[in-house]
Amino acid sequence: MQENQKDNLKKQQKENVSDPTFFSDQEKKVNARIKHAIGDEPVKVFSRRSGIPETSLRDYISGKKKPGLDAITVISEFTGTTMDWLATGKGIKHTIDLRHAEERLSGNPPAVFSELPKTLEPYRNRLDTLLNYLVMIEDERERTALLSDFILRAEKIIELSELKQTVNEMRATYQKDNVNK
């Protein structure tokens, strides 16, 4: 009798593994996180780049198949997301944010880049300060909105700077033409 129960349990477990409706809510969300992590990159391209078979990747995204630890590890490495976030949806999402958090915990504020273009070097402290604030914001939408606002303002400043330069060039050309007359 006990052996029959074991056989039934094994049979049920095999059926459950292949049955996507058996996945827990947490497991169902892994497929959405994998899809989100891959982003707009075509599955075929990501498959080639990462070495994960395309059919497996499509099965993970559709929820037909649970990704194993090896697949989670590879997807994490190639998307820049943490394994914890990819597998559970909890914790720090991006590996770069994790590194910055580790640096902050060790007493070292994160730097924007070890080497900045020379034109940005005067702004290193401001960029580092901005990065410190951004990694503290947990809500991705809020962080994205803040970055979008920052980029919009920077673009306006650049446009104004270019406009100012154009006006100065036109003024110089006008003055040069009037001197030659």
Would you list the domain boundaries of the chain?
1-90
When pLDDT is averaged across residues 150-171 and rounded to a whole number, the result is 84
Q: What is the pLDDT of residue 70?
A: 92
- From the number of C-beta atoms within 10 Å of its C-beta (0-12, 13-18, 19+), residue 135 rates as buried
Distance CA 83, CA 89 (A): 9
- From the number of C-beta atoms within 10 Å of its C-beta (0-12, 13-18, 19+), residue 66 rates as middle
Q: Is the pLDDT of residue 47 over 70?
A: yes
What does the buried/exposed string (b/e) look like for 22-45 if buried means 16 or more CB atoms within 10 Å of the residue's CB?
A: ebeeeeeebbebbeebbeeeebee
48: tokens are 């080639």
- In eight-state DSSP terms, residue 65 is S
Number of CB atoms found within 10 A of residue 179's CB: 7
Q: At 94, give phi and psi (nearest 5°).
A: -100, 140
pLDDT confidence band for 20 (50 / 70 / 90):
very low
Distance CA 67, CA 49 (A): 17
82: tokens are 């943490």
Domain 1-90: assigned CATH number: 1.10.260.40
What are the pLDDT digits (tens) for 97-142? 777 667 666 666 555 555 555 666 677 777 777 777 777 787 888 8
Distance CA 52, CA 45 (A): 10
Q: What is the pLDDT of residue 119?
A: 62
Decide: 151 and 134 in contact? Cβ < 8 Å.
no
pLDDT confidence band for 25 (50 / 70 / 90):
low
Q: Is the pLDDT of residue 11 over 60?
A: no
